[in-house]
Structure 1
Amino acid sequence: MSHGGIGGGLSGAVPDAYRAFVSRAGNICPQIPPAIIAAQIEAESNWNPKAQSKDANGNPIASGISQFIPGTWATYGTDGDGDGVADVWNPADAILTQGIYDCTIAKQLLPEVAGGNVKGDIVSVTLAAYNAGEGAVLEYHGIPPYTETQGYVSKILGLAKKYQGAEVVPGGDGGQGAKIVDVARHQIGTPYVWGGGGISGPTGGGFDCSGLTQYSVYVATGKVIPRTSQTQRHAGRSVPRDAMQPGDVIVFNNDGGWGHVGIYAGNGQMIDAPRPGKTVEVTSLSPYWTQFDWDVRRFT
């Protein structure tokens, strides 16, 4: 769930030289959208690829446009432009690594937030962990009471508003329904795994149909819905088929037991995890799925 409705679009405030890098980094995981990546860069280096922070003795602490310390770079540094070198001074490498590192933190903290052990939205606590370390966030069960860290989080969330552009989701309404679709779209290509997935993301390497819907609704809205298609059918609010909106969950009685579920994506399509041997995909509802009984549920 992103903070304050910050979604996947980018405004013209991002410098042209870095726009593609920011977009790529901000599409690694749905929790950390491009506007957050951009705002974080401004807070870290003000878009200066040669930035270097130093301690009181003049010794280097963090380097590059995304301000990595040597130990973190040694673990996460990634070659972003395919030149065979992961260089902290190269914005293509540094910004991609920033997205990877942010998403790694977010994935680790998601179950803590969902379980109530860590208070706050996932974007805020991820940024706090980027600044102060995940251990500090866990110790204080949320954003640590450090002036620097609290200011860091607040500054980035404020800056993100100027980098937020229009979020384009086919058939979407720009609200929570569109965000559910956007989260599901980020999982296209993820393998089907029976019993796979939940609020923390894929498990066992993938999702089944109801794991995908539970994850997408949770990340987009913060709501934890039941885990199986049969129980999802009785949750949320019932919606007539002719009143469906993107983000609605469709449960199908295709096997006599309401055994399949997908997310309506607009334009007569849904996103679902269909069956073993397949991956999360966009599927047309007609003609195959129209032959079955549906139960459409709304969780927004």
Structure 2
Amino acid sequence: MKMLTGAVGAVIGLVVLALLAVVSVVIADDGASATGTANGGSLQGVPAEFRGWILKADAACKEPAMTPALLSAQLWQESKFQTSKKEATSDAGAQGPAQFLPSTFATWGRDDDGNGEVSLWDIGDAVMAQGRMMCSLLRQAKNSGYPGDVRALALAGYNAGWFRVEQYGGVPPKSFARGETYNYVRIILSIMPRFQGPSLLQVSGSGTAADALRKAATRIGTPYAWGGGGPSGPSTGFCDGTNGYLSGRCSASSTVGFDCSSLVQYAFWPKTQLPRTAAAQYGATSDRPVSRSDLKPGDLLFWSHGGSGSIYHVAIYAGDGNVLQAPRTGRNVEVAPLTSAMPQNDYYGATRP
């Protein structure tokens, strides 16, 4: 999180360029299996002594953009999970696995591991402080109205200070500090997938339906964004006067994610190129209706306020009475029981794409 300038910044700039050349290398899992997370995804590539704290820090934050993979990628970029004073002390004075300046840690640090000491060298204290600071920055980013991914804005604030984000009205450009903050953000977002373990939803079989369900399952935990997402993946959405708001504010415009129909479109693309909205997806597949008693994984399910012209939600049948869906603003992509995914009386029917 240090902000470096001058000769030190030049050296770091060279290091960043070197890191960019190696981010495609798969990060080893340190011999441990993937660990489940609260939001339905899983975590891999993280040393065992960090895993529990990362999951705890994630669970303590209610911001949808916070994920274990985000915290893990940030820790790797900050310190490569190193904990010794020799390996985890920067020339700028940042210390510990989360690379806090002591003055900053004084704000965010707690005795989270209960050993009687508040220390930025303790893994538990450092990771929980990192989580608290990132959670606060994600909240600031969401409420700021600045364009771009809220995760990128928060990471920039962690690295350079939120006042720099305010100064530039977003992530500082490449010209700032020889690109340190710009590349810091880019590297972390690019390596996040390496820490995302296999989905807890296990999909068997092959074919278009199974492949679509398997693809959608990799997005479990992705935030809901009204109007966001498409064939290429999640994106920021928009508010239309009714939808996309959370606690009276337009959440969709600063949330990178999917809505219900864009998740379905993304899952089936490009083999089956479904239209964008839930109603249009029903129209495109309604000639292949499926009874509720004959549902198969990959079938599409629809909910309506009354008739095909009022369809408002679509989900993918995941088997065993469950659906995979992007439910609503403030929630994440999830697996939920069909009986409670949406109001039962609104269930309209199912189709087979």
TM-score, scaled relative to structure 2 = 0.53
Tell me the distance in 1 between the aligned counterparts of 2:112 and 2:316. Answer: 34
Match of 2:247 among 199, 203, 213: 203
2 CA distance for matches of 1:139 and 1:244? 53
3-state secondary structure, aligned to 1:127: helix
State how far apart, in whole Å, the 2-side matches of 1:103 and 1:198 are.
24
8 Å CA contact retained: 2:296, 2:317: no
**Matching of residue 52 in structure 1 with residue 92 in structure 2:** no
Return the alpha-carbon distance in structure 2 between the equivalents of residues 198 and 62 of structure 1: 43
- Does the Cα contact within 8 Å between 1:43 and 1:152 map onto a contact in 2? yes
Identity %: 27
1:8–1:34 Cα contact (<8 Å) kept: no
* Displacement of 1:131: 0.5
Equivalenced residues, count: 248
The corresponding residue for 2:167 is 139
Question: Which 5+ residue runs of structure 1 have no aligned equivalent?
Answer: 1-6, 56-60, 185-196, 205-210, 226-232, 274-280
| C-alpha contact 2:157 2:165 (8 A) present in aligned 1 | yes
Write the distance in 2 (CA, Å) between the matches of 1:290 and 1:100.
38
Structure 1 CA distance for aligned equivalents of residues 195 and 347 of structure 2: 43
Per-residue CA deviation, residues 196-246 of structure 1 (Å, 9 max, x unaligned), is x9857x539xxxxxx9xx86x954238999xxxxxxx98774476848989
Q: Is the 8 A contact 2:156 2:181 kept in 1?
A: yes
1:102 deviation in Å? 1.3
- Give the corresponding residue for 1:37: 71
Letter of the structure 2 residue corresponding to residue 46 of structure 1:
K
For each residue in 1:177-196, what CA deviation from the matched residue of structure 2 results, as whole angstroms up to 9, or x when unmatched?
76366547xxxxxxxxxxxx
| SS of structure 2 residue aligned to 1:294 | strand
Of residues 339, 349, 353 in structure 2, which corresponds to 1:285?
339
- CA shift digits 1:221-273 (9 cap, x unpaired): 38999xxxxxxx98774476848989x8954549xxx8x97977844346879
Q: CA deviation at 1:81?
A: 2.5
* Residue aligning to 1:208: none
Cα distance in 2 for partners of 1:156, 1:8 equals 18
| Aligned counterpart, 1:10 | 43
**What TM-score do you get using the length of structure 1 for normalisation?**
0.60
Residue 221 in 1 paired to residue 258 in 2? yes
The 3 A distance-change label for structure 1 pair 16 and 252 is same
Q: Single out whichever of 84-93 and 101-110 deviates more from structure 2.
A: 84-93
- Asked if the contact 1:199/1:218 (under 8 Å) is kept, the reply is no
Quote the offset at 1:82 in angstroms. 3.8
Name the amino acid aligned to 1:90. D
Q: In 2, Cα distance between the equivalents of 1:101 and 1:140? A: 20
Cα deviation per residue 1:80-130 (whole Å; 9 max; x = unaligned)?
Answer: 334454322110111122122212211221244xx5x323x2222221111
Bigger radius of gyration: 2
**Which residue matches 2:348?**
294
Q: Would the alpha carbon gap of residues 82 and 261 (structure 1) be closer, same or farther in structure 2, given more than 3 Å must change? A: farther
Structure 1 distance, partners of 2:301, 2:138, is 25
- Residues 22-31 or 72-81, more deviating: 22-31
Q: How far has the Cα of 1:133 moved from its partner?
A: 1.6
SS in 2 for 1:62: coil
Match of 1:173 in 2: 213
SS state at 2:94 partner:
strand
Counterparts in 2 of 1:17 and 1:152: CA distance versus 1, 3 Å = same
**Distance across 2 between alignment mates of 1:224 and 1:75:** 42
Cα pair 1:181 1:265 within 8 Å, conserved: no
- Superposed CA RMSD in Å reads 4.9
Change (3 A) 1:183 1:133: same
User: Shift in Å at residue 161 of structure 1?
Assistant: 4.2
How far does residue 151 in structure 1 lie from its aligned partner after superposition? Answer: 2.2
Structure 1 stretch displaced more, 65-74 or 163-172: 163-172
Change over 3 Å in CA distance of 1:138–1:263 after alignment to 2: farther
2:301 touches 2:317 (CA, 8 Å); kept in 1? no
Q: Is the 8 A contact 2:213 2:318 kept in 1?
A: no
Amino acid at match of 1:40: Q
In structure 2, distance between residues paired with 1:265 and 1:99: 34
Q: 1:136 to 1:261 in 2, by over 3 A?
A: same
Q: For residue 21 of structure 1, what is the aligned residue in structure 2?
A: 53
Q: CA–CA distance in 2 between the matches of 1:265 and 1:111?
A: 35
DSSP-derived class of the 1:48 partner? coil
Confirm or deny: 8 A CA contact 2:41 2:221 kept in the other structure. Answer: no
What SS class does the counterpart of residue 167 from structure 1 fall into?
coil
Shift of 1:156: 2.1
